[in-house]
């Protein structure tokens, strides 16, 4: 499936994925190809994109997730790539959300 991760400032990721993991008000969600079409609010935390070769993780302060079945679009408020993996991205995403509240 195709995945796009964007914020108002830039496009962080465009490419293929086998799975996307993120956090919604109903809990963590794992998205596979042909997932049911969905629109969800993203809570502060981590977003991880897996493909055959690697995992790419992002910290995200919040945003919106749209799933069409063959495409996942993440519209994030504040987004940062995190090299240390999903758990580090979750913690950094929460810190980004707190930081944006203080502005």
How would residue 101 be classed by pLDDT, with cut points 50, 70 and 90?
confident
pLDDT tens track for 40-99: 999 999 999 999 889 999 999 999 999 997 899 999 999 999 999 999 999 999 999 998
Contacts of 30 (CB under 8 A, 6+ apart): 19, 20, 21
Please give the pLDDT value at position 69. Answer: 77
Residue 33 corresponds to which tokens in the numbers above?
């190809």
How would residue 103 be classed by pLDDT, with cut points 50, 70 and 90?
low
Please give the pLDDT value at position 57. Answer: 97
Residue 30 predicted with pLDDT over 90: yes
Residue 63, Ramachandran bin (φ over 0: left; ψ between -120 and 50: alpha; else beta): left
Residue 82 corresponds to which tokens in the numbers above?
């995190």
Contacts of 66 (CB under 8 A, 6+ apart): 38, 39, 72, 73, 75
Tell the burial category of 80 from Cβ atoms under 10 Å away from its Cβ (0-12, 13-18, 19+). Answer: middle
Distance CA 29, CA 8 (A): 24
Show the domains of the chain with their CATH numbers.
Answer: 2-102 (2.60.15.10)
Distance CA 94, CA 98 (A): 6
User: Could you tell me which residues are beta bridge partners of residue 58?
Assistant: 47, 81
């Amino acid at each position: 499936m195709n995945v796009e991760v964007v914020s108002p400032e830039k496009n962080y990721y465009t490419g293929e994925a086998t799975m996307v993991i993120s956090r919604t008000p109903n809990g963590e969600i794992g998205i596979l190809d042909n997932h049911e079409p969905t629109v969800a609010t993203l809570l502060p935390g981590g977003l991880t994109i897996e493909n055959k070769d690697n995992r790419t993780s992002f910290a995200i302060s919040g945003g919106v997730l749209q799933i069409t079945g063959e495409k996942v679009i993440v519209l994030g408020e504040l987004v940062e790539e995190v090299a240390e993996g999903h758990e580090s991205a979750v913690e950094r995403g929460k810190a980004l959300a707190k930081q944006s509240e203080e502005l």
